[in-house]
Amino acid sequence: MSNPELIIEAAGVTRTYRVGTAELNVLRGVDYQVQRGRWACLLGASGSGKTTLLNILGALEKPTAGTIRVGGVDLSALSRRSAAHFRNRSLGFVFQAYHLLPELSMLENVMLPGLLAGNSRSAVRGKAEELLARVGLSGRLKHRPSELSGGEQQRASIARALINDPELLLADEPTGNLDSATGNGILELFRELRADHPQRSIVMITHNRDIAALADQVDELADGVLRRL
Ligand SMILES: Nc1ncnc2c1ncn2[C@@H]1O[C@H](COP(=O)(O)OP(=O)(O)OP(=O)(O)O)[C@@H](O)[C@H]1O
Ligand SMILES: [Mg+2]
């Protein structure tokens, strides 16, 4: 039975990669629970499987074994098509390298997931303008990603992640490419956005223990399993 207070319930998650004849057991039985409204951080050495786990939680990748519910939805039961729908409607992704589409303006980048969700262009445009203002980019609507600083691109990618009001934000080292002052600004933005929507949950990968100190919950991935710190 699914617990409505949990945004994430994962049990016994394993992920094995086969490379040639070798087997790489990256996740060896991960149990993970995050309550709704929590900011959870994942720590772990490079190569420990953090991105692999985040991709599995985000229905981008299937585990080798184990069960995962996100917002009560059993991810293993989703077809590719319904997984794509679920990602677009319920999740927001923020990546270290922003992943904005270079040929689109900031406004178009932020609007895109809203249009893919089938909402009207005028409604999505209004929401995107609001979100870009919220992240301090009102003056950059027509800029392309290459015309913005790294911190500005990350702000835009956060606005994009929020366009469909996701219940869960998944962030993979969102400050990893930024200097510390700019990175602190991004973290402050996450804090403010969370205060706007206390029911929204965040899972953030970081290498930075100062960032982890801001979180409600910190788990470390090592040897294929998670340990609560
Ligand atoms: N598609 C794949 N095929 C084979 N091996 C893979 C694949 N994806 C990841 N791996 C391996 O799984 C391990 C975990 O990778 P992952 O990207 O999850 O690590 P990470 O903890 O996010 O590291 P980093 O902090 O450097 O981003 C690595 O050893 C990696 O080489
Ligand atoms: Mg990674």
Distance 47 CA to ligand 1 centre (A): 5
Contact in structure between 31 and 6 (CB atoms under 8 Å)? no
Q: Which ligand lies nearest to the CA atom of residue 52 in the structure?
A: 1
Nearest to 39 by CA among 201, 228, 219: 201
Within the chain, strands assigned E span: 6-19, 22-35, 39-44, 65-70, 73-74, 91-95, 168-172, 201-205, 217-222, 225-228
80 pLDDT above the threshold of 80: yes
Ligand at minimal distance from the CA of 28 is 1
- CA dist., res. 229 & res. 220, Å (int): 7
15-19, 69-73, 213-217: lowest mean pLDDT where?
A: 213-217
* Cα distances (angstroms) measured from residue 37 to each of 89, 173, 191: 17, 20, 12
User: Is residue 4 included in any domain, yes or no?
Assistant: no
Distance (angstroms) between ligand 1 centre and the Cα of 203 equals 18
The encoded tokens of residue 4 equal: 């409505």
Cα 81 to chain centroid distance, Å, stands at 19
Domain containing 91: what range? 39-59+79-228
- The residue contributing the CA closest to ligand 1 atom 25 is 46
Residue 182 domain-assigned (yes or no): yes
Q: How far away, in angstroms, is 187 Cα from ligand 1 center? A: 25
Atom 31 of ligand 1: nearest residue by CA position:
47
Sign of the four-CA dihedral 113, 117, 118, 123: negative
Q: How far apart are CA 138 and CA 44, in angstroms?
A: 36
33-58 confidence digits (pLDDT tens) = 999 999 999 999 999 999 999 999 99
Would the CB of 97 count as within 6 Å of ligand 1? Answer: no
In a domain? residue 112: yes
Report the number of distinct structural domains present in the chain.
Answer: 1
Quick one: which atom of ligand 1 is closest to the CA of 48? 21
Whether 12 maps to a domain, the answer reads no
Residue from 17, 55, 64, 173 whose mutation best tests the ligand 1 pocket (most atoms within 8 A of CB): 17
Residue 226 pLDDT more than 70? yes
Residue 18 belongs to some domain of the structure? no
Grade residue 1 by pLDDT with cuts at 50, 70 and 90: low
What tokens does 40 get?
A: 């959870």
Neighbours of ion ligand 2 (CB under 5 A): 51
> What CATH number is given to the structural domain containing 158?
3.40.50.300
Q: In this predicted structure, which of 66-70, 188-192, 223-227 has the lowest mean pLDDT?
A: 188-192
Q: In the numeric block, which tokens belong to residue 132?
A: 């870009």
206, two tokens: 């970081």
Q: How far apart are the first and last CA of the chain?
A: 27
The pLDDT value given to residue 209: 80
58 lines ligand 1 (CB under 6 A): no
Asked if residue 23 is part of any domain, the answer here is: no
Query: Is residue 113, in this structure, part of any structural domain at all?
Result: yes
Whether 67 maps to a domain, the answer reads no
